[in-house]
Structure 1
Amino acid sequence: MTATPTPAAALLEVVDVNRRFGDVAALDDVSLTIAENEFFALLGPSGCGKTTLLRSIAGFEQPDSGAILLGGDDLLGLPPNRRPVNLMFQSYALFPHMTVERNVAYGLQREGLGRAEVRARVDEVLETVGLTALTKRRPRNLSGGQKQRVALARAIVKRPRLLLLDEPLSALDRKVRMEMQLELKRLQHEVGITFVLVTHDQEEALSMADRVAVMADGRVQQVATPVDLYRRPANLFVADFIGSSNRFAGRVDGGVFVSELLGKLPGATDAQQMERAHLVVRPEDIRIFSSTDGGGTLQGRVIDVQFKGGSSHVAVDVAGALTPLLVSVAGTADVDRGDDVALDWSAAVVVSEELA
């Protein structure tokens, strides 16, 4: 597993945590360290273990072994209601018969806080999330984005040391989801609470989190910043899961990548000797030009051009490649379907196909 250095002042430590359901290892020796005031994401496909880990931190799952420490204190001996942790559910779980302000105040009232303190804290958090004008509305009269803000306000009004977010934006349409991604990031900085987000949406994780843990088969495959995950994936799973890529199977011999079907290809010069390796080339790193200009690493024919607004995606059929190569260019492409082209690149990474 490849990891970037963990920031100072660690808040949450997950140490060798295991959780099995029959023959299935939902969590397999999972270890993580999350810093104070960090926005951290757990990313992976369904069944990778990310939700089980989140529920274990919250207290709704009991690991078979390992330790979960918050500020050095063991959480596993505490029931969910005694942990300084809040879990914001995917469904929001708002009380339909209560107004916005009563939904937000409910947890504080259950703690027995005085009326004046409850009012002050509710007013403060509703202003923070931009709901001051909607305090008397009930959930049925709110949009999806407004309901999400109410759930978030209810979670942070109790001032937890750690806020866990379980796919919080999945019920929103794309436009509102993008707006709320920015809002969550802003709020996390403003309220100074450590956020741990669970998501299967790579774009969401990369755009919001300071660091991301990519999970597969109950294990952490890599912990890194979004840029490092994209540019320096630890293995083939991470490379395929994060963003789009072109990959070639082969081996590394004397620092040179040799494709099984295409021969020598430009790759990372510091790659170690590997009998089974994959060269990963991002679409935006490929240079495409007319084959009549000469040069190029590979030659092929354009089979499709898609204009995406700010960029264009070009699919190129290359003899010997198992699938068409994807090239991304800024703006409009200077090639058309049927053109003979050459491809070249300098930026690439060599990875192993082995999971952590």
Structure 2
Amino acid sequence: MTALDSGTATRTALRPLLQVSEVSRAYGDVTALDDVSLSIGENEFFALLGPSGCGKTTLLRSIAGFEQPDAGGILLGGEDLLAMPPHRRPVNLMFQSYALFPHMNVAKNVAYGLERERLPRAEIDRRVGEVLETVGLSAMGGRRPAQLSGGQRQRVALARAIVKRPKVLLLDEPLSALDRKVRGEMQLELKRLQHEVGITFVIVTHDQEEALSMADRIAVMAAGRLQQVADPVELYRHPRNLFVADFIGASTLVAGTAAAGTFTAGDLGPLPGTVPADLTGPAHLVLRPEWVRLTEPEHGLLRGTVRDVQFHGGGSTIAVAVAGLPTPLLVGVPGATATERGAAVGVSWNAGDAVVVQDELA
């Protein structure tokens, strides 16, 4: 297990299926992938997460065969994927646009790939019927894409991708065209479907909530390199560096210096947090809103003034202005809160919750 890979026991129980080794890809002076290595297990739901331009789509397209790496290797079940043309690879890529044929009905769209393989008609009909039932579209086989909702078209695209029974299904921003409510429903549907069909899913997304809610493990990318590979809980609670901490979830980031297991934040002095034994120099203390609690001013680690209160339905976020911090410190509380703007408060947290991270990218 590498320094980047902090998976749990669930991860170690999976047999490796897809192995990416030291893959690099450049476009002129722009490096899209820089020595990327990772291993994805059988039946794993794996997410490639990062901002636009981080290299995640280039990596996905390299696995699919639409990009040729400048260096490195990609193995699937021990076989060299890079030696195979795209149409021979046992992978399927579901595009962001779904790319359904508008003149064909649902059943014909799903059957298209099987018909290209010249399978017997009875087998095609059986497999199309099975997969339409799996995605909940058995009654819509005769409809055309224009007669379907966005969520239903997404299911058709999924059905067409999995009916060929690939070893790996690659999904490029598959939910980005859906509205928030439908996207949430389809996140649950994708996870259910992945368990039922027993196929390894690799999804590319820039939506952290989407990755956290669906993936067994997540690879966070920046500037063409892997920054951290871990399960969602590990990634959220123990980010490897400042980029991961800032990109994953809401947080207050306090700048300071780490030395000898202690974190010091300028004029605020030493603050409690878990400091890696080997971390020395510029660093940041990461405080998730739910780790911070309000106290009476005299009982807090820090004192401040409430600048804003936001109610989100299930909870509230309180922004506390603290002298010495350039941005308000965020405090999360369940449900509604009686705390008002302008109130003088204290803020505290447990040293075991807060984590100190290095500033540099991997």
Q: TM-score, normalised by structure 1?
A: 0.98
State the SS of the aligned residue for 2:19: strand
Residue 330 of structure 1 corresponds to which residue in structure 2?
334
Deviation at 1:290, TM superposition (A): 2.6
2:110 and 2:256 map into 1 onto residues whose CA distance is 57
Deviation at 1:289, TM superposition (A): 2.0
1:62 and 1:108 map into 2 onto residues whose CA distance is 27
Equivalent residues in 2 for 1:128-167 (5 A)?
128-167=134-173
Residue 265 of structure 1 corresponds to which residue in structure 2?
271
2:272 is aligned with what amino acid? P
Choose from 28, 52, 66 the match for 2:34. Answer: 28
The alignment of Structure 1 onto Structure 2 pairs a total of residues equal to 354
Residue 312 of structure 1 corresponds to which residue in structure 2?
316
2:204 and 2:84 map into 1 onto residues whose CA distance is 22
Residue 287 of structure 2 corresponds to which residue in structure 1?
281
Moved more, 159-168 or 248-257: 248-257
Choose from 252, 256, 281 the match for 1:250. Answer: 256
Residue 302 of structure 2 corresponds to which residue in structure 1?
298
Contact 1:261 1:321 in 2 (8 A): no
2:117 and 2:4 map into 1 onto residues whose CA distance is 43
Cα–Cα, structure 1 residues 173 and 336, in superposed 2: closer, same or farther, change >3 Å? same
Contact 2:258 2:275 in 1 (8 A): no
2:267 and 2:196 map into 1 onto residues whose CA distance is 53
Residue 104 of structure 1 corresponds to which residue in structure 2?
110
1:66 and 1:18 map into 2 onto residues whose CA distance is 6
Q: Does residue 186 of the first structure (1) align with residue 185 of the second (2)?
A: no
Deviation at 1:331, TM superposition (A): 1.1
After superposition, give the CA deviation of every residue in 1:171-213 in whole Å (9 maximum; x if it has no partner): 0000100000000000000000000000000000000000000
Residue 16 of structure 1 corresponds to which residue in structure 2?
22
Cα–Cα, structure 1 residues 239 and 106, in superposed 2: closer, same or farther, change >3 Å? same
Choose from 331, 345, 349 the match for 1:345. Answer: 349
1:256 and 1:227 map into 2 onto residues whose CA distance is 25
2:304 is aligned with what amino acid? G
Contact 1:252 1:272 in 2 (8 A): no
Choose from 331, 337, 360 the match for 1:354. Answer: 360
Unaligned runs of 5+ in 1: none
1:2 and 1:15 map into 2 onto residues whose CA distance is 14
Contact 1:271 1:350 in 2 (8 A): no
2:286 and 2:322 map into 1 onto residues whose CA distance is 16
Residue 174 of structure 1 corresponds to which residue in structure 2?
180
Q: Does residue 127 of the first structure (1) align with residue 133 of the second (2)?
A: yes
1:139 and 1:251 map into 2 onto residues whose CA distance is 57
Deviation at 1:270, TM superposition (A): 5.0
Unaligned runs of 5+ in 2: none
1:48 and 1:260 map into 2 onto residues whose CA distance is 32
Q: TM-score, normalised by structure 2?
A: 0.96
After superposition, give the CA deviation of every residue in 1:133-154 in whole Å (9 maximum; x if it has no partner): 1010000111000000000000
Choose from 2, 5, 8 the match for 1:3. Answer: 5
Deviation at 1:251, TM superposition (A): 1.2
Deviation at 1:273, TM superposition (A): 4.5
Contact 2:106 2:142 in 1 (8 A): yes
Moved over 6 A (4+): none
RMSD, aligned α-carbons: 1.0
State the SS of the aligned residue for 2:82: coil
